[in-house]
Every structure is written in C-alpha cells, then in structure tokens.
C-alpha cells in the first residue's frame, strides 16, 4: 500500500470470516520461526475504584530477512489494549482494544482492527500451538477452567490440534459454566459443565485456564500423569491460576521470555523461589525452531505446562493473516 489509500476498518465479524483455527495456528508457528521483531511491551497500571485496570501497548514489525511470516510484504503494527476486570459487572468484556496495522516499507496505515477479537483468536491459537508440541497426541479429554469470552476460542483451538472427545467447563459461577456448555453443545461441541473442579482436572488430558483469579485454582496434586496444563489468565503478579506444586511437577514452557518477569504463576513462582529460573525449559521460539524439545512420544506420563502472557508477534501475524485473506477475497485490493 502507498500514498493515501483508504484505511480499512476490520470488525470482529470480518476477523471471524477470515480466520480458521488450524490456519492461524500454522501462521503463528511460521511467525515464531521467522523474522518478526517485538520490543518489550509497555505495561501500565490504571487505578480504578472497582479494581485496577491495565493498559498495554504492544508493537511489532517484520524484519528485513524474507521469511514465511513476512512473505506477503513488510508490515508494522501496534496493539493498544485495556484490561478492566470490573467490566464483568457492567456486562462488558474485560479486554478492550484496537490493533493498528501499517505498511512496513512506508509506514502508511493499512487497517484498524477490533483488538479484542484479534486478541481472542491469537491467544487461543498460541495455546493450541504450544499444545501441538506439548500435549499428548491422543489427548481426548479437556477441562476448561473459566467461562468468559476466551473459553470458546480456547476450546475450538485445542480441538483443532488434538482429538478432543469431551470438554468439561468449570466456572466460579456454575450458572455461567452451564450456560456456555449448553450453548456450545447446541453448536455441536462435546461440552458439559461441572461444579467439581478437582474431579474435572483429575480426569483431563488437557486443562486450559482463562480466569482473573487471584488465588490458585488448579492444584498440582490433581494433575493426571501425561496431562498438559495451559495457563492463559493471571496476566499480572497479583493473579494465580495454578499452585507451586503444579509448576514443580511439570516441564514448564512459556510463550516468550517476558513470562519469566510478567504475569502470575511462573513469574511469581520464580520470584518466591518455588522454582528456579532454569526450571523453565523453553519458549515458543525454541519449540517452533526445534531448538528445545517438546514432549517426546515416549513421554506418556510426563506433565507439561504452558504459560502465556501474550506476544506482539502473535497480534501482527494474526493481522497479516486476516489481511492476506481479505486481499484474496477483494481481488488484491484489501
């Protein structure tokens, strides 16, 4: 794009039409193998009487080296996202934001995206990408901890990578778990609700957590041999989704090195001395590039754990994937 061409506004429905879970998982894998650049994100606390909010600024751009991730052209983007935990009481999603995409060669703006929707897609697919490397290939039983906006995306993303036959949903408010399970079941997904978190975790091959909990929910003692634990919530050091024993029992991986300092769970366990820094075996860069091993097929009883804090290259890769589809649909004008 060059000159003063019109700026595309990409809605949530536009994103949903453009993306598929297997396709975005593949795009993220290419991005983590590729040449994208992502500086440290800006992370700001915003004091609020109903619970402190968080403002995140997350830039990324394609590098100079031609890669699978940048084959469609150079790009530059930044996500501006706000997390307001008190929004649930207002009937609003806790994550709000926009994504700005520009031509990486000229800086000319290309598009503004619904940032919350893009975040749901890329976050779920990053977890599914990790599960591609870390969950047992025959993982058939999933437990979803949390029934918020991200939960359906995580369920569908994980089902795109593993032969999930049954999904149990747990939430602090059992009515929300029942409502989500019924809605997804009506869409043909194998979902049921449970009010017994311990039993649901003990029975699961894959446990995915997306909550704003400030206390550990999943106990390491509950994890079955061979289980994979996916921790997506707990985005600041005052939050926890799993206890120290879960981290000690597991082979721990993170999305990016930022997870060693930011967010809950892994960063807290390292800070408090529950695990050593070198207990973390690697990140998505290493897993996707083959620099660190994931689960070997022989490790049927090994417990694995993935902690996500979000990465700007995921947003850029997702935005580029959407624009690539729009360009094809629009005959190269999108």
d(CA 161, CA 281): 22
Strand partners, 112: 9, 100
Residue 238's pLDDT band (cuts 50, 70, 90): confident
The CATH code that applies to domain 8-119+312-329 is 3.30.1780.10
What is the architecture of the domain spanning 124-307?
3-Layer(aba) Sandwich (3.40)
Look at residue 329 in the predicted model and tell me its pLDDT: 57
Q: What percent of the chain has pLDDT over 70?
A: 93
CA separation for the pair 283, 267 (Å, rounded)? 14
Q: Which residue has the higher pLDDT, 235 or 27?
A: 27
The predicted pLDDT at position 237 comes to 84
Domains 8-119+312-329 and 124-307 share a fold: no
Q: Evaluate whether 107 touches 133 at the Cβ level (below 8 Å).
A: no
Picking from 52-56, 161-165, 296-300, which range would have the lowest pLDDT averaged per residue?
296-300
pLDDT bracket for residue 328 (50, 70, 90): low
Query: Torsion-angle region of residue 191: left (phi > 0), alpha (psi -120 to 50) or beta?
Result: beta
The reported pTM is 0.89
Instruction: Name the residue ranges covered by the structural domains of the chain.
Output: 8-119+312-329, 124-307
Helix axes 150-159, 174-186, angle to 10 degrees: 50
Does residue 314 come out as left (phi exceeding 0), alpha (psi in the -120 to 50 range) or beta? alpha
CB atoms within 10 A of CB 126: 30
């Amino acid at each position: 794009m060059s000159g003063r061409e019109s700026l595309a506004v990409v809605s949530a429905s536009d994103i949903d039409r453009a993306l598929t879970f297997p396709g975005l998982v593949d795009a993220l894998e290419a991005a983590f193998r590729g040449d994208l650049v992502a500086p440290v994100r800006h992370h700001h606390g915003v004091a609020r009487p109903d619970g402190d909010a968080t403002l995140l600024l997350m830039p990324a751009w394609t590098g100079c080296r031609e890669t699978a991730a940048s084959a469609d052209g150079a790009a530059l983007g930044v996500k501006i996202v706000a997390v307001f935990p008190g929004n649930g009481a207002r009937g609003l999603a806790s994550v709000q934001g926009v994504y700005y995409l520009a031509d990486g060669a000229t800086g000319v703006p290309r598009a503004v995206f619904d940032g919350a929707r893009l975040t749901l897609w890329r976050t779920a697919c990053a977890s599914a990408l990790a599960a591609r490397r870390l969950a047992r290939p025959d993982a058939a039983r999933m437990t979803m901890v949390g029934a918020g906006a991200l939960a359906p995306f995580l369920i569908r993303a994980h089902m795109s990578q593993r032969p999930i036959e049954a999904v149990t949903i747990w939430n602090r408010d059992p009515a929300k778990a029942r409502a989500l399970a019924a809605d997804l079941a009506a869409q043909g997904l194998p979902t049921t609700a449970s009010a017994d978190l311990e039993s649901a975790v003990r029975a699961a091959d894959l446990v995915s957590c997306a909550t704003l909990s400030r206390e550990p929910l999943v106990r390491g003692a509950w994890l079955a041999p061979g289980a994979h634990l996916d921790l997506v919530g707990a985005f600041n050091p005052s939050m926890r989704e799993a206890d120290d024993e879960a981290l000690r029992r597991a082979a721990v991986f993170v999305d990016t090195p930022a997870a060693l300092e930011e967010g809950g769970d892994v960063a807290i366990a390292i800070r408090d001395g529950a695990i050593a820094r070198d207990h973390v075996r690697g990140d998505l860069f290493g897993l996707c590039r083959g620099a660190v091993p994931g689960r070997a097929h022989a490790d049927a009883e090994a417990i694995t754990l993935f902690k996500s804090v979000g990465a700007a290259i995921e947003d850029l890769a997702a935005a580029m994937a959407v624009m690539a589809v729009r360009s094809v649909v629009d005959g190269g004008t999108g």
